[in-house]
Amino acid sequence: MKLSALTKKITATLSATALAFTLSYAPTPAPKAEAANIWGVLIGGAVYATQLDNEIRAVNNDEKGRQQFFQRLKQQYGVNEDPELNQRLDNIMANLTEAIAKVDPSIEKKPYNYFINKDTSLNAFCTLGHNMSVNTGIFNYIKNDDEIAVILGHEMGHGQKDHPAKGARKSILPMIVASTVDNIGGLILANALNNQGITKPMEKEADALAFEYITHSNYNPGACAAVWQRVIDQSGDNPDNFLTFLAGGSDHPSHASRRDEYAKKLYEYSKKTVSVEKNTVKINGQKFTDISATQDMSANERAYFIAGNLAAAYRNGYNKENVTANDGVLYMGAQAIMQPLNDDEPINVLQERLDFIKTAYPTKKDKDEDKDDE
């Protein structure tokens, strides 16, 4: 089917702004039309809105349309065919898809398309039609699959809630309207219509969904806070001073606030038992241990992983089982807690302390159950 000039313009804008949901919208120059008054702009805007909505639906909901758009994305951004990286991504996407299906079966109706592009910065995006791309740079900045899964889970959260389509309707239409006017009134109208595509509420919703997806998978729930601690370690707390993934920017939550929100979710997930203060992991307010850094991970970041294991143990009731040490790994029941490194406390000390804390400082639920048994 031969596209009209407007359809070509809309499609080009959609493609040009595919990364808008993680970076920023940047309209490309377009020819000016002859509209000369505000009424013409309003009428024209309604026509454009209808056609824009039709184009978004075609790319977002129609299988042929979304596959065509996916191929355009691959052509535009290039594809990294590295077999090892692609195998890792396949595994992560399969795990996340299975986890999401447990809480949102609609994913089975529109499975995600994805590819690794050649950009070496830290970024990933989900755009229309459940089409995703992951920068090669993510695998350079982040070595563990748990944190990568958090990033991709966040992007899939945007996809599951149709944020890309909602953002496109808000952000692309003003570009089209602005390119058809040649007077101040039209420019004012375009400016009034112009909203950032992915809003702060959308970001918070995607963050919350990422945690939900991770906790329905085999990934460490502490990775949600850990990945933001990693960003802070490398860039500080300002959303503007790093190659920010997950739709950063000055009007979005700070890195620290996102880390802290995930830490709160982890605390709730652990039945209000496990918390982190810098590199100190606590259980029911009692210090378990100070975590040391590794060559690739700060002490603070690693603390969230240890806390994530403890949270899973308490969540699944393993705190009622024995604390053991096996092949240098500390366990609570069937849940691995940590493998002490050279600068950590000895495993026998950690085993004794963990056993003491879980016995002397039981959870509120355990206390209530003990009372019922009396």
Q: Are 297 and 232 in contact (CB under 8 A)?
A: no
Q: Cβ of 316: how many Cβ atoms within 10 Å?
A: 13
Using the structure block, give the residue that is written with the tokens 């085993």: 351
Asked whether the whole model's pTM tops 0.75, one would answer: yes
Per-residue pLDDT of the chain (374 residues; tens, 9 = 90+): 444 555 555 555 555 444 333 322 233 333 344 444 544 544 455 666 677 778 888 889 999 999 998 998 999 899 999 999 999 999 999 999 999 999 999 999 999 999 999 999 988 999 889 999 999 999 999 999 999 999 999 999 999 999 988 887 776 666 655 555 443 333 333 332 333 477 889 999 999 999 999 999 999 999 999 999 999 998 876 555 444 444 445 556 789 999 999 999 999 999 999 999 999 999 999 999 999 999 999 999 999 999 999 999 999 999 999 999 999 999 999 999 999 998 999 999 999 999 999 999 987 666 666 555 55
In this predicted structure, what is the pLDDT of residue 8?
54
The three-state secondary structure class of 248 is coil
What's residue 308's pLDDT?
99
Q: Quick check: 137 and 149 in contact, CB under 8 A? A: no
- By C-alpha distance, which of 247, 252, 223 is closest to 123? 247
* Residues in contact with 8: Cβ distance below 8 Å, sequence separation at least 6, in sequence order: none
Q: Where are the domains of the chain?
A: 5-202, 272-374
Residues 198, 204, 207, 211, Cα dihedral to 10°: -150
Q: Is 293 helix (H, G, I), strand (E, B) or coil?
A: coil
Q: Which two tokens stand for residue 32?
A: 């000016």
Work out the angle at residue 309's Cα, subtended by the Cα atoms of residues 221 and 330, and round it to the nearest 5 degrees.
Answer: 160
Neighbour count for residue 96 (Cβ, 10 Å): 24
Dihedral angle computed from the Cα positions of residues 175, 178, 179 and 183, in that order, rounded to the nearest 10 degrees: -170
Separation CA 10–CA 15 (nearest Å) = 9
* C-alpha distances in Å from residue 111, one per residue of 9, 101, 161, 202, 359: 28, 10, 14, 21, 46
Tens-digit pLDDT profile for residues 143-197? 999 999 999 999 999 999 999 888 877 766 666 555 554 433 333 333 323 334 7
Alpha carbons 140 and 343: distance in angstroms, whole number: 26
**Chain-centre distance for alpha carbon 176:** 30
What 3-state class would DSSP assign to 278?
coil
Give me the phi and psi of 296, to 5 degrees please: -110, 0
Report how far residue 288's alpha carbon sits from residue 90's, in angstroms, rounded to the nearest whole number: 37
